[in-house]
Structure 1
Amino acid sequence: MTQHPMPDGRRPANQGPRAAARNRAALVAAARAIYAEHGLDAPLSAIARRAGVGQGVLYRHFPDRAAVATAVLEENVRQIEQAAAAPDADLASVLGVLTWHLTESAAFIGFLHADGEYRRSGALARGLALAERVKGALRGHLPAGHRLATADDLMLAVSMVSGAASGLTRAERERRVLAAWRLLGVEVGPLRPFDG
């Protein structure tokens, strides 16, 4: 974060790695919010402003736009994996976290299909690896005989639901994804981020 002089003119002590970790977390949260509002083409300066840091701090953590987008996706997947590993986790609760991320990070629906900078950056390969991690997190909670337990039906259903996550507002995206799950006959728990 930008350090401003204290009243006596001294600069505050450099907080080193603690500040770096805080800044990175603030940038990822800001990117999620900015991308949800304005899409993947939103200016990186808007992300830095929302996070309360300078653009130099943003570029120290993320060398380009694709790196910022990948960091948000990685955080989404990490939360889904944590939700799946929780002692009281079931398929509905994990799908609730996944679905929250689909509605909050709707700008990423086209991420795997993007051209240009995202494809050149290797984002497609990273996106596929992240999708495999999501599949693993969900598969562990599929009860025997569940309607999505055969072949790749589970990830096909996730893809179909993510395709429904279009709409101008978050409320509209949420309404659409819940309707898609309902049409597929799948129970989804409360939509929420995983907060540990």
Structure 2
Amino acid sequence: MPSPEPRGNRGPAAAADNRRALLDAARRVFADRGYRAPLSAIAREAGVGQGVLYRHFPTRLDLALAAFEENFAELDAIAAHPGPGAFADLWSRLVEITVAESAFVEMAVDARRALADRHDEGRLRSMLADTLARAQAAGVVDATLNADDVVLMHRMIFGVVTTSIDDDAGVRAAVDRATALLRHDPLGGRQR
């Protein structure tokens, strides 16, 4: 099999494309192999050399934070919708991201430990609180629920995702079952 034709060196003109390719590759590799996947696998997946990777993202955390920030931008856009449905949409997308990209939640935990000036959980809590208040005012969400409860539910979902040994369908089924249990509270506490 002939080797692929080498791409010409476009220099600085390729920087934006290389950065995008690295972020896309990081999402795929982290989703497939976890947050501790070799960075060389990400560079290879992106079709660039490791030097290019390190020029854009000097550390694993820099790379993960850049991809994670894209998730936050998407969640911010959902939370900005003024209607009471924004809370359900935000929660649904947050769970989807957690299932598909649990490595980024793992990274967020690392970031919280390593970077004292990062406030991602507070940012998420604020988004949830704002949309939750609108949903509660419209009567579509239990008035006793608060943002801390929702963050705790998210952490529980992350636990389900990261400890599951099932395939993707099994993980999704476990997450659905866990969220149903949270809504019905079989231990006799507050009903969701």
- Bin of the TM-score, shorter chain as denominator length: 0.7 to 0.9
Assess, with a 3 A threshold, how the Cα gap between structure 1 residues 32 and 15 changes in structure 2: closer, same or farther: same
Q: Which residue pairs with 2:157 in the alignment?
A: 161
Residues 139-162 of structure 1: per-residue CA shift (max 9 Å, x gap): 222122734633621211111122
Does the 8 Å CA contact 1:74/1:130 hold for their aligned counterparts? no
Q: Which residue pairs with 2:146 in the alignment?
A: 150
SS across alignment from 1:165:
helix
Q: Which residue pairs with 1:189 in the alignment?
A: none
Point out the structure with max Rg over C-alpha.
2
Task: Write 1 or 2 for the structure with the bigger share of helix.
Answer: 2
Listed as ranges, the gaps of 5+ residues in structure 1 are 6-10, 187-196
Counterpart of 1:132 (choices 102, 117, 122) is 122
TM-score for both structures, normalised by structure 1: 0.73
- Map residues 26-175 of structure 1 onto 2, 5 A cutoff: 26-86=21-81, 90-114=86-110, 122-123=114-115, 125-126=117-118, 129-142=119-132, 143-144=135-136, 146-147=141-142, 149-150=145-146, 152-166=148-162, 167-168=164-165, 169-175=167-173
Structure 1 stretches of at least 4 aligned residues deviating more than 4 Å after TM superposition: none
CA distance in 1, matches of 2:11, 2:151: 46
Assess, with a 3 A threshold, how the Cα gap between structure 1 residues 151 and 138 changes in structure 2: closer, same or farther: closer
Query: What is the CA distance between 1:101 and its match in structure 2?
Result: 0.9
CA distance in 1, matches of 2:53, 2:170: 31
Listed as ranges, the gaps of 5+ residues in structure 2 are 1-5, 185-192
CA distance in 2, matches of 1:77, 1:180: 24
Assess, with a 3 A threshold, how the Cα gap between structure 1 residues 124 and 76 changes in structure 2: closer, same or farther: farther
- AA aligned to 2:57 is F
Does the 8 Å CA contact 1:30/1:47 hold for their aligned counterparts? yes
1:177 counterpart = 2:172: no
Q: Which residue pairs with 1:194 in the alignment?
A: none
Assess, with a 3 A threshold, how the Cα gap between structure 1 residues 157 and 61 changes in structure 2: closer, same or farther: same
Does the 8 Å CA contact 1:109/1:163 hold for their aligned counterparts? no
Does the 8 Å CA contact 2:23/2:66 hold for their aligned counterparts? yes
SS across alignment from 1:42:
coil
Query: What is the CA distance between 1:173 and its match in structure 2?
Result: 2.6
Q: How many residues align?
A: 171
TM-score for both structures, normalised by structure 2: 0.74
Assess, with a 3 A threshold, how the Cα gap between structure 1 residues 44 and 151 changes in structure 2: closer, same or farther: closer
CA distance in 1, matches of 2:81, 2:51: 37
